[in-house]
Amino acid sequence: DIVMTQSPDSLTVSLGERATINCKSSQSVLYSSNNKNCLSWYQQKPGQPPNLLISWASTRESGVPDRFSGTGSGTDFTLTINSLQAEDVAVYYCQQCYDTPYTFGQGTKLEIK
Protein backbone atom coordinates (compact mmCIF):
# COMPACT_ATOMS: atom_id res chain seq x y z
CA ASP A 1 0.00 0.00 0.00
CA ILE A 2 1.09 3.58 -0.64
CA VAL A 3 1.57 5.36 2.66
CA MET A 4 0.69 9.05 2.78
CA THR A 5 2.38 11.09 5.49
CA GLN A 6 1.35 14.65 6.23
CA SER A 7 3.25 17.27 8.16
CA PRO A 8 2.68 18.91 10.48
CA ASP A 9 -0.11 17.14 12.39
CA SER A 10 -1.39 20.52 13.53
CA LEU A 11 -0.76 24.09 12.55
CA THR A 12 -1.66 27.45 14.08
CA VAL A 13 -1.55 30.45 11.80
CA SER A 14 -2.64 34.09 12.18
CA LEU A 15 -5.47 35.51 10.12
CA GLY A 16 -4.19 36.85 6.82
CA GLU A 17 -1.01 34.78 6.97
CA ARG A 18 0.00 31.74 4.91
CA ALA A 19 -0.50 28.12 5.91
CA THR A 20 1.55 25.34 4.34
CA ILE A 21 0.75 21.64 4.64
CA ASN A 22 3.01 18.94 3.29
CA CYS A 23 2.19 15.47 2.08
CA LYS A 24 4.67 12.76 1.19
CA SER A 25 3.84 9.49 -0.52
CA SER A 26 5.86 6.31 -0.04
CA GLN A 27 6.11 5.92 -3.81
CA SER A 28 5.55 8.12 -6.82
CA VAL A 29 1.93 8.83 -7.74
CA LEU A 30 2.80 10.20 -11.17
CA TYR A 31 0.85 8.57 -13.97
CA SER A 32 3.16 8.13 -16.94
CA SER A 33 0.15 7.89 -19.27
CA ASN A 34 -0.94 11.50 -18.72
CA ASN A 35 2.06 12.90 -16.82
CA LYS A 36 -0.23 13.90 -13.96
CA ASN A 37 0.06 13.20 -10.26
CA CYS A 38 -2.94 11.39 -8.82
CA LEU A 39 -3.06 13.37 -5.61
CA SER A 40 -6.02 15.20 -4.11
CA TRP A 41 -6.53 17.56 -1.18
CA TYR A 42 -9.65 17.72 0.99
CA GLN A 43 -10.93 20.06 3.67
CA GLN A 44 -13.11 18.68 6.45
CA LYS A 45 -15.02 20.79 8.92
CA PRO A 46 -16.63 19.34 12.06
CA GLY A 47 -19.75 17.30 11.37
CA GLN A 48 -19.24 17.41 7.61
CA PRO A 49 -17.77 15.01 5.06
CA PRO A 50 -14.47 15.88 3.42
CA ASN A 51 -14.75 18.42 0.65
CA LEU A 52 -12.55 18.16 -2.45
CA LEU A 53 -10.35 21.22 -2.88
CA ILE A 54 -7.71 20.14 -5.39
CA SER A 55 -7.29 17.19 -7.72
CA TRP A 56 -4.36 16.06 -9.87
CA ALA A 57 -2.08 17.78 -7.37
CA SER A 58 -2.79 21.31 -8.60
CA THR A 59 -6.23 21.59 -10.21
CA ARG A 60 -8.53 23.64 -8.03
CA GLU A 61 -12.16 22.52 -7.95
CA SER A 62 -14.88 24.88 -9.10
CA GLY A 63 -15.89 27.24 -6.33
CA VAL A 64 -12.72 26.80 -4.30
CA PRO A 65 -11.15 30.19 -3.49
CA ASP A 66 -7.93 30.92 -5.32
CA ARG A 67 -6.09 31.36 -2.02
CA PHE A 68 -5.90 27.54 -2.02
CA SER A 69 -3.18 26.09 -4.23
CA GLY A 70 -1.50 22.73 -4.66
CA THR A 71 2.00 22.02 -5.87
CA GLY A 72 4.40 19.13 -6.08
CA SER A 73 5.17 16.04 -8.10
CA GLY A 74 6.29 12.47 -7.66
CA THR A 75 6.28 11.91 -3.92
CA ASP A 76 6.23 15.40 -2.39
CA PHE A 77 3.23 17.70 -2.39
CA THR A 78 2.16 20.91 -0.71
CA LEU A 79 -1.16 22.59 -0.03
CA THR A 80 -0.78 26.33 0.48
CA ILE A 81 -3.49 28.57 1.86
CA ASN A 82 -2.72 32.25 1.38
CA SER A 83 -4.38 35.05 3.36
CA LEU A 84 -5.86 32.68 5.92
CA GLN A 85 -9.52 33.31 6.72
CA ALA A 86 -11.46 32.23 9.81
CA GLU A 87 -13.54 29.82 7.72
CA ASP A 88 -10.39 27.90 6.75
CA VAL A 89 -10.22 26.30 10.20
CA ALA A 90 -10.55 22.61 9.41
CA VAL A 91 -8.68 19.35 9.05
CA TYR A 92 -6.95 18.89 5.71
CA TYR A 93 -6.21 15.53 4.09
CA CYS A 94 -4.20 14.46 1.08
CA GLN A 95 -5.17 11.31 -0.81
CA GLN A 96 -3.48 9.29 -3.53
CA CYS A 97 -5.45 7.72 -6.35
CA TYR A 98 -2.51 6.15 -8.16
CA ASP A 99 -3.36 2.64 -7.00
CA THR A 100 -5.83 0.80 -4.82
CA PRO A 101 -6.16 0.83 -1.94
CA TYR A 102 -6.53 4.56 -2.29
CA THR A 103 -4.95 6.01 0.83
CA PHE A 104 -5.28 9.21 2.80
CA GLY A 105 -2.83 11.08 4.95
CA GLN A 106 -3.49 11.23 8.68
CA GLY A 107 -4.77 14.78 8.47
CA THR A 108 -3.48 18.21 9.47
CA LYS A 109 -5.54 20.29 11.88
CA LEU A 110 -5.41 23.99 11.02
CA GLU A 111 -6.28 26.53 13.70
CA ILE A 112 -6.21 30.31 13.96
CA LYS A 113 -3.73 32.01 16.24
Partner 1 sequence: EVQLVESGGGLVQPGGSLRLSCAASGFTFSSHWMHWVRQTPGKGVVWISRINSDGGTSNYADPVKGRFTISRDNAKNTLYLQMNSLRAEDTAVYYCARGPYAFDIWGQGTMVTVSS
* Site residues, partner 1 (CB under 8 A): 38, 40, 42, 44, 48-52, 55-56, 61, 93, 95, 97, 100-107
CB burial readout 20-37, b (16+ within 10 A) else e? ebbbbbeebbbeeeeebb
Q: Are 42 and 21 in contact (CB under 8 A)?
A: no
- Tell the smallest beta-carbon distance from residue 54 to partner 1 (Å): 8
8 Å CB contact between 99 and 31 = no
Question: What is the smallest separation between the CB atom of 22 and partner 1, expressed in angstroms?
Answer: 17
State the nearest-atom distance from the C-beta of 53 to partner 1, in Å. Answer: 10
> Residue 56 or 82: which CB sits closer to partner 1?
56
